[in-house]
A = this chain, B = another copy of it.
Amino acid sequence: MVDARIALDAMGGDKAPRETVRGALEAITRDQKIEVVLVGDTKAVEAEIAAAGGSRERVRLVHASQVVGCGDAPTDAVRRADSSIKRGVDLVKSGEVDGLVAAGNTGAAVAASTVVIGLIPGVRRPGIAVTLPTAQGHSILCDAGANIHCKPLHLYHYGIMASQYARGLFGSQHPKVGLLNIGSEEGKGNELVRETAALFARGIADLNFVGNIEGNDVFNGHCDVIICEGFVGNVVLKTAEGLYEVIAGKLKELALSATAAGHERASGVGELLQKFKQNRDWAEYGGAPLLGVNGLVLISHGRSDARAIRNAILQAARFHRSQALRLMTQDIVASGTTRSQA
Identical chains bound together, number: 2
Q: Name the B residues within 8 Å of A189 (CB-CB).
A: 148, 231
- Assess whether A241 is in contact with B215, with CB atoms less than 8 Å apart: yes
- Assess whether A218 is in contact with B190, with CB atoms less than 8 Å apart: no
Within 8 A of B (CB), among A35-91: none
The one of B220, B241, B249, B266 that contacts A216, using a Cβ cutoff of 8 Å: B241
Q: Name the B residues within 8 Å of A217 (CB-CB).
A: 242
Distance of A238 Cα from B240 Cα, bound (Å): 11
Judge whether A204 is part of the interface by a CB distance below 8 angstroms. no
Which of A152-160, A170-178, A254-262, A325-333 lies at the interface? A254-262
Judge whether A339 is part of the interface by a CB distance below 8 angstroms. no
Return A152 CB to nearest CB of chain B, in Å.
Answer: 15
Judge whether A250 is part of the interface by a CB distance below 8 angstroms. yes
Distance of A214 Cα from B250 Cα, bound (Å): 21
Q: Name the B residues within 8 Å of A134 (CB-CB).
A: 246
- Assess whether B236 is in contact with A235, with CB atoms less than 8 Å apart: yes
Distance of A124 Cα from B90 Cα, bound (Å): 51
Interface centre among A190, A230, A238, A245 (most CB of B within 10 A): A238
Return A93 CB to nearest CB of chain B, in Å.
Answer: 28
Distance of A15 Cα from B319 Cα, bound (Å): 49
Judge whether A265 is part of the interface by a CB distance below 8 angstroms. yes
- Assess whether B215 is in contact with A239, with CB atoms less than 8 Å apart: yes
Interface centre among A239, A247, A264, A279 (most CB of B within 10 A): A239
Within 8 A of B (CB), among A109-163: 134-135, 145, 148-149
Q: Interface SS of chain A: helix, strand, loop or mixed?
A: helix
Considering only CB atoms, which chain B residue lies closest to A144 in the complex?
A: B182
Within 8 A of B (CB), among A265-300: 265-269, 271-272, 275-276, 279
Q: Name the B residues within 8 Å of A265 (CB-CB).
A: 264-265, 267-268, 271
- Assess whether A215 is in contact with B235, with CB atoms less than 8 Å apart: yes
Q: Name the B residues within 8 Å of A261 (CB-CB).
A: 268
Q: Name the B residues within 8 Å of A214 (CB-CB).
A: 235, 238
Show 15 A/B contacts (Cβ-Cβ < 8 Å), sorted by A: A135-B246, A148-B190, A180-B235, A190-B231, A214-B238, A215-B236, A215-B238, A215-B240, A216-B238, A219-B242, A236-B236, A236-B239, A258-B268, A264-B265, A268-B268
